[in-house]
Amino acid sequence: MLKEDKNLFNPVRGQSLNRTNGLKILIATGIYPPDIGGPATYLPQFIDFLESKDCDVKVITFSDSSDNDPKVFRILRKDNVIVRFLKYSFCLWKELKDVDLIYLHDVSLVGLSLLVVNFFRRKKYIIRIGGDNIWEQAYQRGLTKEKCFDFHSQKLPSLGLKFKKFILKIIAKNSEKIIVPSFFLKKVIKVYGIPDNKIEVVNNAVDLDIKDNKNEFYSRIENYKKEGDKIFVSGGRLISLKKFDLLIKVFKNIKNGKLLIIGSGPEKNNLVKLIQDSNLSEKIFTIEKMDRGELLNIFSLMDVFILLSIGDAFSFITLEALLSGSKVVLAREGALPEIFGEFEHQGVEFVDLNDENYIVNLLNNLDRVNRIDESGIKTIKNKYNYERHLEDVYKIILNIIR
């Protein structure tokens, strides 16, 4: 059920849109805490920052449950897609009346709702795009096994994807700006016919102000370490392009090691079955939920972090692993070389996903992987500084409002 607030976004008399504070910003997103994932982690921190600038911020999101937060309007996911679309669109229609800017964080069903409602409301909006949604959906549904750019050079394999691409192009072309986390993703978005000057690259950042927290797995891992096991960690949304199945296959040949896979997603059941069928239940463990304090404590014990994804446009979890001082092994795919290439052989080793023997050899001989030094950690903290990231996004907002 939608919350009702008659005073929501009441305009201030005589106040110009040229002001630099008191902005009324609506965030339209598909996920928000307690959901997990990059956007759910990022948005509350972004909202705190905007409120520190005297902005009035409201959120509309899909959710599995309701709460009493007057700033967050939750559309329950249990409804069918048509009902969700109608409820989201109604909520947008009601709340867009007096906003200065919409910050769109989802270009699928949320984007379609905004496109329909904004045809009448005519509000300015910017989009943050964190990945190539069309390709990711095609890959997850088994409609392609091609890498991103190879996929876009061919005809789309279904009418549904063609429709989604059509909608994405309209949403993007009508936006004021599109914010992406890497030049890799900017290059992908340009494939959709979006002009270069509309796309702004603002690298993601990590928040270093995290409370220390230990969970039940911490003690188990401590015991594994005492028994002489090496600790391997991987994580992220459990989708097929992350190649956790390849990691499990590789891990059959890893000596004296335990692997912890952290995350949730549509591939969870398939991965659990693969672990069981491979007789690796004593070597590989999956854990669905872990807050960042717990995660960083696990990182402090691990020997290496591994990510074999073929399509990441950025990777929060890899940045955090590097900041923990861990050794890191990554696929030379997507934006990973762009973001982490400067640390190659200085904390990071890249692998070719077609060379499984090399990956096994490397993971069995971790002494070949160096740890990042203090200079590298300082570089990460400076380059991916959270305040700088938020200020950069805020400047884009102000330039549009002015």
pLDDT of residue 212: 63
pLDDT of residue 4: 39
pLDDT of residue 17: 38
d(CA 143, CA 151): 10
pLDDT of residue 108: 86
Spatial contact of 106 and 28, defined as CB atoms under 8 Å apart: yes
Buried b (16+ CB within 10 A) or exposed e, 330-339: bbebbbbbbb
Residues 6+ apart with CB under 8 A from 382: none
d(CA 94, CA 283): 52
Could you list the beta-strand ranges (E) of 164-307: 177-180, 199-201, 230-235, 257-262, 284-287, 304-307
pLDDT of residue 36: 63
Please report the domains of the chain, with CATH numbers, ordered by start residue: 24-205+386-401 (3.40.50.2000), 216-383 (3.40.50.2000)
Task: Give the SS3 label for residue 237.
Answer: coil
Residues 6+ apart with CB under 8 A from 17: 100, 401, 402
The tokens for 274 are: 């693969």
pLDDT of residue 50: 93
Each of the 402 residues of the chain gets a pLDDT tens digit; together they read 344 333 333 333 233 334 456 899 999 998 888 776 666 777 888 899 999 999 999 999 998 888 778 889 999 989 899 999 999 999 999 999 889 999 999 888 999 999 999 999 999 999 999 899 899 999 999 999 999 999 988 888 899 899 988 999 999 999 999 999 999 999 999 998 899 999 999 998 877 665 666 777 788 888 998 899 999 999 988 999 999 999 999 999 999 999 999 988 889 999 999 999 999 999 999 988 777 778 888 888 899 999 999 989 998 889 889 988 889 999 999 999 999 999 999 999 999 999 999 999 999 999 999 999 999 999 998 888 888 899 999 999 999 987
pLDDT of residue 324: 87
Nearest CA to 336 among 243, 200, 226, 238? Answer: 243
Could you tell me the CA-to-CA distances from 376 to 51, 80, 312, 347 in Å, in that order?
33, 48, 22, 8
